[in-house]
Structure 1
C-alpha cells in the first residue's frame, strides 16, 4: 500500500482526503457465554451480508479493516467481506471491544498514512459516538437518517475528511452517507 502524492508535491498523508467507514456488528444472540463470545443471531446472519452488499454497491473499497476481536464482530465481517469486490487487509483489534469514543479516536490517530480508506467494525455506543463526533457536517439527509435510526445493528456510517490520520478529531469530517438494514 502506498499513498499517492498530490500534484502539488505534498508529502503523503498531509492533505489527501481520507474515508472512515464505521460498521456496527450485526444482531447478536444471547446464549450462556461471555459477552465477548456472543455469536450472531439469525437476523444478524442475514443483515451482515446485506451490509456487505450495500458497501460493495456504493463503490466503497478499503485499504484496511480494523475489527473488534469479539465473536459477533468477527462473524459480521466474515459475512460482509464476501460481498465486497476487494478483500482489504484485516487487523483484529482487542481495543475495539467495549471501546469508548476516546479509544476509537486514538486508534484512528494511529492508522498509517498510507491507508486512505479505513473500515472499522465495532460496537455501540462507540460506533454511534464516533460517527456523531467526527461528523462536523453532513451531506443531504445523512445526519437526520442516522439520528432517526439511532445506529442500529449492522448500520454503516461513511465519513470523509481531509488530512492525515493524526488530525482526526471532533468535527473534522463530513458524514456522506448512512445506511441501516431495517431503518
Structure 2
C-alpha cells in the first residue's frame, strides 16, 4: 500500500467492568458491560469498516469486550494482544500506532481511558461537527468508540494528523 493510502483508526474503550477482589488487570466485565460490548460490536459492524488488524490490551476487561464485540462482526480481523496498551499514556499509544505495518489500512484499538480519549482528541486536527460535539459533551465512557481518518504512513501518526469522522457511545 502507498503511504498516501487513506487509513482509519477506531479507538474502542472497554465496556463496563466489575470490581471483584482481583487485580485491576484481571477485572472482568459487569453484566452491563457484556451487553454494551455486544452492542458496540453490532454498531462497529454497521460502519462497514473491514478491519485489517485489531490491537487489544491484555487486561481481562478489554479481552472480554473484544470477544463479545467481534462475534457481532461479519469477519474477525487478525488480533494482537498488546501488553503495552494496558495503562498506556497518549505518547505510548502514539508510539505503538507508529509501529503498525503500512499494509494495514483499517485498525481497531481496544484499550482504556484516559488513553483512548486522549488519542481521539490528539489525532483529531479536524472533525465532523456532530461527532466532535458528542465526544466533547459525552467524554469517552465505557464501550464508546471514535473513528479517526488520516492519509499517510502509520509512522506519520501524530497530533492533529486526522479527522474525527464518527463517535458512538452506548448510552447517548
Question: TM-score normalised by the shorter chain: which range applies?
Answer: over 0.9
Distance 2:5 2:49 in 1: 17
For residue 174 of structure 1, the aligned residue among 154, 163, 167 is 163
For the residue of structure 2 that corresponds to 1:92, the secondary structure is: strand
Say whether 1:72 aligns with 2:65: no
For residue 113 of structure 1, the aligned residue among 79, 99, 102 is 102
Higher Rg of the two aligned structures: 1
For the residue of structure 2 that corresponds to 1:141, the secondary structure is: helix
Q: How far did 1:75 drift?
A: 0.1
Deviating 4+ runs (over 3 angstroms): none
Distance 2:29 2:42 in 1: 18
Distance 1:60 1:80 in 2: 14
Q: How far did 1:86 drift?
A: 1.2
Distance 1:43 1:79 in 2: 12
Distance 1:86 1:149 in 2: 30
Distance 1:152 1:128 in 2: 9
Q: TM-score, normalised by structure 2?
A: 0.99
For residue 123 of structure 1, the aligned residue among 112, 115, 123 is 112
CA root-mean-square deviation: 0.6
Q: TM-score, normalised by structure 1?
A: 0.93
**How many aligned residue pairs are there?**
172
Say whether 1:158 aligns with 2:147: yes
Q: How far did 1:140 drift?
A: 3.2
Structure 2: 5+ residue stretches without partners:
none
Distance 1:21 1:172 in 2: 14
